[in-house]
Structure formats: C-alpha cells, structure tokens
Chain A
C-alpha cells in the first residue's frame, strides 16, 4: 500500500523517466471538480511534467481506457451504465481517488433518494421512457473500494495540489479531518452562528475550503461533508430546542450537497426537509423567539 501511493517516487527511484499515467473521469456531476484541476493554471503545467495525463476529456483529445496509475473520479453513480463502468475502472488502477461531493457523498442529486425517481423523471422529461436511471444516486464508495477522497463542492485547489504532491513525494496527504470552525477562528472570521444567529453546519463539517462561506457572512452549507464523529444530532437538537427552529427547517439544512452521508442522512430522514420548498441551507437568522 505504501508503494501504491507514491508511483512517481517509485518510478524515479527505479531510474525510469516514464511519468505515471493519470486519468480523470466523470460520472453524474457538474464538472466543477475537474475544472479545479484546470484552474490550477501554472501549477497544472508543472503537474503535466510529472504525470502523463492519458485520459481527461475536458482537457485533451488523448483518450485511454486504462490502465492508469492514478485515477481521479468525479460524479455520483446515477445510471446502470455508470454502475458498470466504475467497476471496470476500478480494475484499471491501483489508486482510485474520488473528487468532490458527488463522488464522495452522492452530491445534490442524491436528494432524489428520498423521493421516487420515476416521479421526478415524469415531471421533468417529455418522454421519460427514454431515460434510464437508477433509483438512487450514490457515491463511488457504495460501488467500489476508494483509496482516497477529496471532498468539497467543488474541491479545494490547495487540497488537490497537496494530494498530488503527496503522491510524488511519498508522504501522507495532509487533509485534516477537523471542523470548519478551526479555520474560521484561525482566519479571524466572526462566527456567523453565535454573532449572527445564522444556522451553520461548520461545527459538523469537515474543513478544507478555508471557511469560505462564513467568511462571507453566511452559514456553512456542509459541502465538504460530515467530519469525523460529527454530532449532527446534537447540533440539530440545539437548533430546534434552543433556537426554536422548526424540525423541517433543520432537516433542510442537512439536505444539501452531502445530504446522503451519515449522519446528515439520518437527520434529513428523521426531521424531513426534502419534500417542501423552503429556506435554503445556510440561510437567514432563526426567529428570535428564545430567551438567552
């Protein structure tokens, strides 16, 4: 396993000038995570010197069905073809890295998992019989073993570079599993929950974005997904009991980009919040109906 994560080092030490083969593939997603790789600009060029990009439809006409040394996978599995393709791809690479909320958590499209997919199909398409999709939109890890994850919607460019650097250098990638709150406090952002009354998922969400949304004065959407031992139930209880929010409103907070990951999933199921339209996640202050 240690060998597997430093293909570049291994190749270099063997005196080889062959660059490891990097692939980037996409399932059901918006494409934003792949774009993050291209948005690296100069660093992207430096990466192309160290990896041979053999498959990246967004960026090159070079195509390859494998094998790969490293495969970045964006998107959730939503159709029968995708479910087969991911299994085929898993066999093509020793190192499969999922990138983004769709691939790691199912994405926003996983909200359909609480409803009936046939109803959605009928409502959206004139000829629903032409569309073949699975009842559930699921993360990659529900289908194959995943070696590493980059979370986020989209992923953070710094974390992407860190992951690829760690492959080259051979070190453990520094992707801390701590709450967004640490980053807010380090960068001197005032807590939107305590000072502004906003509902914020930061305390139960994994860091990685640099506390983007709270730094702009709104609550965290949870797009990096639940962190280790996230006490979603405790936060939900506080929002309802102390701040007086309605259960469905609290459920809607968790019903976002990473709704399908536990423990957010249980909160959505128990509290509701996917059925009716309402306040967007990370939205405005609670009703000031409690006494401090």
Chain B
C-alpha cells in the first residue's frame, strides 16, 4: 500500500465515495454524508471462510458489502452453526456496532471472497455522536435495513413462508 499522500487520500476517498453511492446502502445518502463516510471508511477484503464478527462478542466493525456474500450464523448446539440470513452486495453488516450494547447478534462469515467498505466501530460512533447531520442521515437508512431483516425474521419464525407441518390425523 502506498503511503497516503494528500492527493492519494483524496483519490482514494473519491473512489470510495463512488463505490459507496453505487450500493443500496449509499444510494439515498446525500453528498455531505457520503463525503463524511468516505473519510472514515476503508476498503477491505474478506477471504472465503473469514469471520468478521462473533455472535455475542463485542461489535466493532460496521460495513457494506460491495461484492461477494456474507452469512449471518447462529450457534444451535444440536445442529452446529446455522445460517439464518445472507448479506448480499449493497447491504450492510455489523449494525450492532452503532447500537447499544454493541454486541454482535450473530456471527458474520464471508462465504465467498468479498470486497467490503468497512468502518471502525469506535470511530463511527464518535463521528455520529459529534455530527448530528451525519446521525440524521445514517440512522434512518440503517433502521430501514434492520427493519427489512426484522420482517423477514418474523416470517421465518412463523414458518408460514415455505412450509407447513404434516398431520397424522
């Protein structure tokens, strides 16, 4: 990696901003917000099988998937790790990093080589605490993503979505 000179940093940030805007997550955010986020963000890759967050552990990374796929997994002791959701390109992971109690609600694993835009949890929390405008722009989008997951989870819970139990009588 080249050492960040001001020019490099600016190009880097512009590239990040472009990538971010092209995702579902970033598509509705305004320019100042994109700019602020790009300054905080970094690109990273995850290898297939790499664990990004551990269920129940401290959550310190928030990110957006650019390419690839992450699996959200929970441990069911009788069955091992069960994938309950996958995160597709454009969607976010690690929202728990910016919501109390900053505890990961599932284990996040890359199941394909994935490119991510990642944010350090602490840095992002500080930025949100200082910058009301950033918070006002970011939290609704995060809430939208989490709400979509909540509805899905509820339907999966009801198990009415794809299957019904057979009856003997």
Q: Mark B151-169, 1 if CB is under 8 A from A, else 0.
A: 0000000000000001111
Complex CA–CA separation, A243 to B167 (angstroms): 43
Shortest beta-carbon distance, A159 to chain B, in Å? Answer: 14
Complex CA–CA separation, A2 to B167 (angstroms): 7
B169: A residues at CB distance < 8 A: 5, 148, 172-173
A1: B residues at CB distance < 8 A: 166-168
Q: Does A4 contact B (CB under 8 A)?
A: yes
Q: SS class of chain B's interface: helix, strand, loop or mixed?
A: loop
Q: Mark B131-169, 1 if CB is under 8 A from A, else 0.
A: 000000000000000000000000000000000001111
B168: A residues at CB distance < 8 A: 1-2, 4-5, 172
Complex CA–CA separation, A172 to B167 (angstroms): 9
Complex CA–CA separation, A1 to B168 (angstroms): 6
B166: A residues at CB distance < 8 A: 1-2
Q: Write the chain B residue with the least CB distance to A170.
A: B168
Number of chain B residues whose Cβ lies closer than 8 Å to a Cβ of chain A: 4
Q: SS class of chain A's interface: helix, strand, loop or mixed?
A: loop
Shortest beta-carbon distance, B81 to chain A, in Å? Answer: 29
Q: Mark A1-12, 1 if CB is under 8 A from B, else 0.
A: 110110000000
Shortest beta-carbon distance, A60 to chain B, in Å? Answer: 29
Complex CA–CA separation, A148 to B168 (angstroms): 11
Q: Write the chain A residue with the least CB distance to B169.
A: A172
A148: B residues at CB distance < 8 A: 169
Shortest beta-carbon distance, B163 to chain A, in Å? Answer: 16
A172: B residues at CB distance < 8 A: 167-169
Complex CA–CA separation, A2 to B168 (angstroms): 5
Q: Write the chain B residue with the least CB distance to A3.
A: B168
Shortest beta-carbon distance, A196 to chain B, in Å? Answer: 37
Q: Mark B50-86, 1 if CB is under 8 A from A, else 0.
A: 0000000000000000000000000000000000000
A5: B residues at CB distance < 8 A: 168-169
A4: B residues at CB distance < 8 A: 168
Shortest beta-carbon distance, B166 to chain A, in Å? Answer: 7
B167: A residues at CB distance < 8 A: 1, 172
Complex CA–CA separation, A199 to B167 (angstroms): 38
Complex CA–CA separation, A91 to B56 (angstroms): 41
Complex CA–CA separation, A4 to B169 (angstroms): 10
Shortest beta-carbon distance, A105 to chain B, in Å? Answer: 20
Shortest beta-carbon distance, B113 to chain A, in Å? Answer: 45
Q: Write the chain A residue with the least CB distance to B165.
A: A1
Residue among A1, A5, A148 with the highest chain B CB neighbour number at 10 A: A1
Q: Write the chain A residue with the least CB distance to B168.
A: A1
Shortest beta-carbon distance, A148 to chain B, in Å? Answer: 7
Shortest beta-carbon distance, A151 to chain B, in Å? Answer: 15
Shortest beta-carbon distance, A2 to chain B, in Å? Answer: 5
Shortest beta-carbon distance, B168 to chain A, in Å? Answer: 4
Shortest beta-carbon distance, A199 to chain B, in Å? Answer: 33
Complex CA–CA separation, A36 to B168 (angstroms): 26
Complex CA–CA separation, A1 to B167 (angstroms): 8
| B-contacting residues, A167-205, CB 8 Å | 172-173
Shortest beta-carbon distance, B8 to chain A, in Å? Answer: 67
Complex CA–CA separation, A207 to B44 (angstroms): 70
Complex CA–CA separation, A226 to B53 (angstroms): 55
Complex CA–CA separation, A5 to B166 (angstroms): 14
Complex CA–CA separation, A134 to B169 (angstroms): 34
- Sort A-B residue pairs by CB-CB distance and give the 6 closest, nearest first: A1-B168, A172-B169, A2-B168, A5-B168, A173-B169, A4-B168
Known: A1-B167, A2-B166, A4-B168. 10 other contacts (CB 8 A): A1-B166, A1-B168, A2-B168, A5-B168, A5-B169, A148-B169, A172-B167, A172-B168, A172-B169, A173-B169
Chain B residues near A (Cβ < 8 Å): 166-169
| Contact sample, A vs B, 13 pairs, CB 8 Å cutoff | A1-B166, A1-B167, A1-B168, A2-B166, A2-B168, A4-B168, A5-B168, A5-B169, A148-B169, A172-B167, A172-B168, A172-B169, A173-B169
